[in-house]
Amino acid sequence: MCLILLAIRVHPLYPLVIAANRDEYYDRPTAPAAFWDDEPGLLGGRDLRHGGTWLGISRRGRIAAVTNYRAPHLQRQGVTSRGRLVTDFLKGT
């Protein structure tokens, strides 16, 4: 199960704390959170298979996340990755 946690104004030094896990298949390649070489305004982990992210923030102040919902009988090939939704929102496209 994927979780996203938000703590708003509960820490004396950080007005916003965000934590999330990525409950994905263990063999799926990922990169840890960092600023992206090809999109230097974005900070987030990266799905190395499809290039999207499950949690990110932009230098312009946009924050986005996505969690999993698995229904194997509904999965289709050739559809847009959910991680692209997050990435496109962060980029403003």
Give residue for tokens 């946009």.
62
pLDDT band per the 50, 70, 90 thresholds, residue 34: very high
User: Global pTM?
Assistant: 0.80
pLDDT band per the 50, 70, 90 thresholds, residue 48: very high
Domain that holds residue 48: 28-91
15 inside domain: no
4 inside domain: no
CA distances from 81 to 1, 63, 71, 76, 90 (A): 18, 18, 15, 11, 15
10 inside domain: no
86 inside domain: yes
Given this model, what pLDDT does residue 25 score? 74
Q: What is the pLDDT of residues 79-92, one digit of tens each?
A: 777 888 999 999 99
Q: Which ranges in the chain belong to alpha helices (H)?
A: 82-91
Number of structural domains (the chain) is 1
Instruction: Please report the beta strands in 1-93, taking only residues with DSSP state E, as ranges in sequence order.
Output: 4-8, 16-20, 30-35, 42-47, 55-58, 63-65
